[in-house]
Amino acid sequence: MFAKGDEVSGFIDLGKMGPADRWQDIAIAIRSLDHNFDGRYSDGKRIFDFKPQMLLDAIEIELDEEKYKYYILLDELF
């Protein structure tokens, strides 16, 4: 994650790199951002009020709930 002041300015995730459905990366990025900012790694203090719609708006895409849930579940298998 990249930050500029108190705003997120970028995010790079190279895990499991390769050709695939973009929703695989989007779902994992949303989960990762939510976990990174919700306070679990900062003694309960919420770092940033992240909402998944923020990422979706930035990449100009609508939520595909079915694919989002599928790729989160699939990631738990690995």
In a domain, 10, yes or no: no
Q: What is the pLDDT of residues 63-74, one digit of tens each?
A: 999 999 999 999
In angstroms, rounded to a whole number, what is the distance separating the alpha carbons of residues 44 and 64?
A: 30
Q: Mean pLDDT over all residues of the chain?
A: 85
Per-residue pLDDT band at 15 (split at 50, 70, 90): low
In a domain, 9, yes or no: no
**Consecutive H or E run containing 3:** strand 2-4
Neighbours of 76 (CB within 10 A): 7
- Strands 2-4, 7-10: pairing is antiparallel
Question: How many domains, the chain?
Answer: 1
Block residue for tokens 């997120």:
8
pTM comes to 0.71
Residue 11, helix vs strand vs coil? coil
Give the structural domain span for 31.
20-77
In a domain, 51, yes or no: yes
In a domain, 27, yes or no: yes
Beta bridge partners of 7: 4
